[in-house]
């Protein structure tokens, strides 16, 4: 269920386009008048924008290359291989090049 995917603290900050419940208030059952009993779960229209933002953020993260997605200019290691540095970390130039490729 969608209401289990989004914590209350995220959807309660928005007003509901279906029942016109203001931010900070729970949705109501009678969507036509905005009055009535308080619903136990929020309306789908109130949760969907939060889920859409999360999908967009996840897509952006997937498209951004990491340092191991490119070859290292310092030690010449190919993508998906660790750098040949004494500390076992990533060379700074490899990280910078990955940031530039992500822009």
If we measure between CA atoms, which residue out of 79, 6, 87 comes closest to residue 44? 6
d(CA 101, CA 103): 6
Which one, of 12, 81, 20, 84, lies nearest residue 47 by Cα? Answer: 12
- Three-state DSSP class for residue 69: helix
Percent of the chain scoring above 90 in pLDDT: 15
Q: What pLDDT score was predicted for residue 35?
A: 62
How many CB atoms are closer than 10 A to CB 38? 10
Mean of all residue pLDDT scores within the chain: 84
pLDDT of the residue at 59: 84
Distance of CA 26 to the CA centre of its chain: 24
Residue 34 has pLDDT above 70, yes or no: no
Q: Is 5 exposed, middle or buried (0-12, 13-18, 19+ CB in 10 A)?
A: exposed
pLDDT tens digits for range 41-85: 888 899 999 999 999 988 877 777 788 888 898 888 998 888 887
User: What is the distance between the alpha carbons of residues 33 and 58, in angstroms, rounded to a whole number?
Assistant: 37
- SS3 at position 42: coil
């Amino acid at each position: 269920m969608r209401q289990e995917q989004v914590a209350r603290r995220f959807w309660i900050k928005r007003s509901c386009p279906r029942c016109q419940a203001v931010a900070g208030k729970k949705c109501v059952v009678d969507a036509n008048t905005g009055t009535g009993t308080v619903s136990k779960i929020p309306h789908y229209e109130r949760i969907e924008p939060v889920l859409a933002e999360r999908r967009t953020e996840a897509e952006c993260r997937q498209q951004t290359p990491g340092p191991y997605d490119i070859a290292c200019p310092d030690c010449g290691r190919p993508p998906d291989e660790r750098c040949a540095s004494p500390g076992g970390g990533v060379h700074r130039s490899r990280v910078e090049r990955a940031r530039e490729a992500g822009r």
